[in-house]
Amino acid sequence: QSALTQPASVSGSPGQSITISCTGTNSDVGAYNYVSWFQHHPGKAPKLMIYDVINRPSGVSNRFSGSKSGNTASLTISGLQAEDEADYYCSSYTTINTLDWVFGGGTKLTVL
């Protein structure tokens, strides 16, 4: 069981928008603006898409955006494209136990 809760799967048609949620606690997501999102195509290294809740690294499409409300962070992908089909993981800084970081279980995005 992962520390952060994500839906197992989401889907959308090309051009549509989808949102993936990432729910934690007031010791991680709710306490810090250090939520990141990663895109993982099988067989490749995961790629940073969003950091510090809302920031996009250079080179990441502005179709990807992040937000947070309370203990839940969200990743929104607008104008879905076939290449967006991948697994998406969230992470957050935490002060739970001896951990520094916690991750979500991952969400499989299918572009129909």
> Which residues here bind another protein, judged by CB under 8 A?
2-4, 6, 34, 36, 38, 44-48, 51-52, 57, 89, 91, 93, 97-106
Min separation Cβ 92 and another protein, Å:
10
CA distances from 54 to 20, 31, 38 (A): 14, 15, 13
Min dist CB 63 to another protein, Å, is 20
Measured distance CA(75)–CA(19) in Å, rounded? 5
Query: Whose Cβ is closer to another protein: residue 44's or residue 82's?
Result: 44
d(Cα 81, Cα 60) in Å, to the nearest integer? 14
- In angstroms, the CA 49 to CA 55 distance is 8
Compare residues 12 and 104 and give the one whose CB is closer to another protein.
104
- Output the smallest distance, CB 17 to another protein, in A: 24
In the bound state with another protein, the residue whose beta carbon lies nearer, of 84 and 88, is: 88
Whether the CB-CB separation of 109 and 85 falls below 8 Å is answered with yes
